[in-house]
Amino acid sequence: MRKKGAFALLLVALCGVAVAWQNSGAKMGGIKLGDRMPEAKLVDLNGRARSLGSLRGKNGTLLLFIATRCPVSNAYNARMAKIAEEYGARGIAVVGINSNVTEPADEVKRHATEHNLKFTILKDDGNKLADMLGAQVTPEAFLFDASGKLVYHGRIDNAQDEAKVQSHDLRDAIEAVLAGRPVAKAEARAFGCSIKRAS
């Protein structure tokens, strides 16, 4: 009986190794809907250390993984700026996160100025926050409600070309949070650039 147990355990362990190997490149894990926003300390574009907790909004917090060189992320610059402006006034803190090892802080700062991104942007050195959240792509949104629980994860909307947008997924989720309603569609994906991780 003990031998059978050892056999089963060994098989399960080897299967685990095999799955990890077969899914190479995939960063599984991260947080799930309902999980709390993790605490992390990152550096803003002025070199100042900021804790995520200190940036939380009264009515919710939106973390947006962005990039300077990704055409998909860049297609959303104006939409992201508008969301930050509109919902910042309604108590939703918008925080941009750049986790790409290929995009240094001075480039991120220059890009933000050029594209009028006025919300706080943090440089995620070593992609620690991206790993904690399981962020994979730019742009990618994580919306936390006022209590700090993840209520929406995924795309901003369904189309890079703003004229073709049919599904305003992130805006709908924010409106639900502000109205105290459950988010109807809590996850939605779109094609984008992979986050260029340090390791």
Partner 1 sequence: MKHLLTITIAFALSITAFGGCTTSSESSSSQTPQASPGKTAVERNDAKGDGAAAAKVTQIGADGLRQLLAVKRPLLINFWATWCEPCRDEFPDLVAIDRDYRSHGLEFITVSLDDAAEIERAVPQFLREMRATMPTYLLNVADPETAITAVDPEWSGALPATFLFDESGRIVYKHFGRINPAELRAAIERTLKR
Q: How far apart are the first and last CA of the chain?
A: 42
Shortest spacing between CB 89 and partner 1, in angstroms: 30
Shortest spacing between CB 119 and partner 1, in angstroms: 23
Sign of the Cα torsion 127, 120, 185, 189 reads negative
Could you give the CA distance from residue 50 to residue 59 in angstroms, rounded to a whole number?
A: 20
Q: Give 20 or 49: the residue with its C-beta nearer to partner 1.
A: 20
Q: Give 10 or 184: the residue with its C-beta nearer to partner 1.
A: 10
Applying CB under 8 A, which residues contact partner 1? 3, 6-7, 10-11, 14-19, 22-28, 69, 71-72, 136-137, 140, 155, 158-161, 164, 166-167, 188-196
Q: Give 10 or 49: the residue with its C-beta nearer to partner 1.
A: 10
* DSSP calls for 89-141: TTTEEEEEEE--TTS-HHHHHHHHHHTT--SEEEE-GGGHHHHHHT--EESEE
Shortest spacing between CB 97 and partner 1, in angstroms: 15
Q: Give 7 or 113: the residue with its C-beta nearer to partner 1.
A: 7
